[in-house]
Amino acid sequence: MKRKAIGALVAAAAMALSLAACSSSGGNSSSKSGGISLSTDGAGKTITVWLQGDAKGWQDVVDETNQRFEQATGAKVNIEWQNWTNYTTKLDSMFSGSTGIPDVVEFGNTQTASYMAAGALADLTSLKSKFDNSSAWMQGLADTANYNGKLYAIPYYGGVRTVIYRKDLWSAAGITTPPTSLAQLYSDLDKLKAAHAGDSSFSAFYMPGQYWYAAMTFVHDAGGTIATEKDGKWTAQLESSQAQQGLENWKKLATDYSVGGATTNEANQDAVMAKGHVATIFGSGWEMGVVADPKTGDPKLKDQLATFAMPSQTDGKYMPSFFGGSDLAVPAKSSNAGLGAEWIQIFTDNKSQTQLAKYAIPNNTNLLSAYKAQSAANVVTGQAAENTWVTPTSPNWANVESASVLQNMLQDIVTGKSSIADATKAADQKIDSTLNATG
């Protein structure tokens, strides 16, 4: 009896093993060591493209690209919409597998480094000249598309954050012109605060406690930075007196003029603004559309929103902007790498980018004028895009982001859990050990 039981168990175990083996042995990776070439030979094939949902804002560009691509190659396009939340986890599991590899993948420009370093992306260096405007790519994107002198990604679009404010509330408080210095911004906010003293949920400037893009903008304005590299070794710089000064400036905004956002991030600041108790936020240009959207916001605010660049602590200057954006890349394991590169080529060519410039900052400086011509708000963001800062270019930077090191530091500062000195010291230690981690 006992022997039979063991026999049954062994049989079951063997079965389980063979099942597992089936699932992991399917498909051979078709990774190529050298570069790839563009391909238009796609009859009967379908390529898979991972795009972030942001592109639903310019669906017409996506649709037209797909049409032109299908005409040129005969291949079909399957767009799989993605979400930024926990995106790197999804990318990790996709790249470590051998099946279900898409042919085009969108990356946030702060995410590319670790994947380029890991050899996950196809080398596009020899194709660079085939991509329109490739000599005039926006610096904040081009820097994130190269690794060790090779090109692994194609800049897609960018965005900068500016101050978005309610014209009606600002003028009702007696403010007629946008501030040109940080000190003036504070005094304007004092006026707004005084005008709404009776409203305990009123934020003259809504600044969420985990909004690290905003806080780091203040750090860079004060002459600080997140980390510097020397001979391959990174040193975090948030403890520096300049960085601490910047955080001091930011903290004033987040604690004196902002209500209710101490333990949240900026993800729903547009919805909060639409509730009517917020006079000012710091956000990307497209967020005005979200605030005034009939579904997500309040359409009555449509004509009341305007922008200005965040004024610097130095009189008459503006803070450098974080240049956020996206790159497109072809996974090294893609089975239709040539077609994938061809799709990117069409999606980022002069025609598509001119269309895209209606919605976001295009991937090159040649089309910036087309972008600025769209609206007054675009003039502000277009100017802001000319003076930018980026996150450390270490392949390990993505781990600092996913571990929420900066968010936790900022929240500790805003809630008063730690002083700026203590919080930056703790964060610097984490950033040092993360950026310098070796295998």
Q: By C-beta, is 113 or 367 nearer to other proteins?
A: 113
Indicate the residue among 294 and 439 with the shorter CB distance to other proteins: 439
What gap in Å lies between CA 174 and CA 352, rounded to an integer? 43
Count CB atoms within 10 A of the CB of residue 158.
Answer: 27
Which pairs from 170-177 meet CB under 8 Å and 24+ separation?
170/279, 170/280, 173/279
In whole angstroms, the minimum distance from the beta carbon of 90 to other proteins comes to 10
Which residue, 176 or 438, has its beta carbon nearer to other proteins? 438
- Measured from the CB atom, is 44 or 439 closer to other proteins? 439
Q: Would you tell me which residues interact with other proteins (CB under 8 A)?
A: 1, 4-5, 8-9, 11-13, 15-17, 19-20, 24, 31, 85-86, 88-89, 92, 95-96, 114-115, 117-120, 200-201, 210, 259-260, 262-265, 267, 272, 275, 277, 395-396, 398-399, 402-404, 407-408, 411, 415, 417, 437-439
- Buried/exposed 270-309: b ≥16 CB within 10 Å, e otherwise: bebbbeebbbbbbbbbbbbbbbbbeeebbeebeebbbbbb
Element (H, E) at 7: helix 2-25
Closer residue to other proteins, CB minimum distance, 67 or 96: 96
Nearer residue to other proteins within complex by CB, 415 or 419: 415
CB of 335 to other proteins, least distance (A): 16
Smallest separation, CB 44 to other proteins (Å): 29
Closest approach of other proteins to the CB of residue 82, in Å: 15
- Closest to other proteins by CB, 81 or 84: 84
3-state secondary structure of 342: helix
Q: What is the closest distance, in whole angstroms, from the C-beta atom of residue 158 to other proteins in the complex?
A: 24
Residue closer to other proteins, measured from CB, 20 or 194:
20
Closest contact distance (angstroms) between CB of 262 and other proteins is 5
Q: Directed axis angle between helix 420-435 and helix 241-256, to 10°?
A: 120
Smallest gap from residue 379 Cβ to other proteins (A): 33
Q: Is 425 helix (H, G, I), strand (E, B) or coil?
A: helix
Could you tell me which of 239, 273, 203 has the C-alpha nearest to residue 419? 239
Closest CA to 417 of 405, 429, 408, 404: 408
Between CA 80 and CA 87 the distance in angstroms is: 13
- Residue 402 Cβ, how far from other proteins at the closest point, in Å? 5
User: If residue 324 lies in a helix (H) or strand (E), which one and from where to where?
Assistant: strand 324-329
Least separation in angstroms between residue 392's CB and other proteins is 15
List Cα–Cα distances, 116 to 85, 277, 321, in angstroms: 21, 44, 25
Task: Report phi then psi at 331, rounded to 5.
Answer: -60, 140
What burial letters (b/e) apply to 56-85, b meaning 16+ CB within 10 Å? ebbeebbebbbebbeeebebebebeebeee
Per-residue tokens: 298 = 């309040």
Residue 260 or 289 having the CB closest to other proteins: 260
Which residues partner with 306 through β-bridges? 165
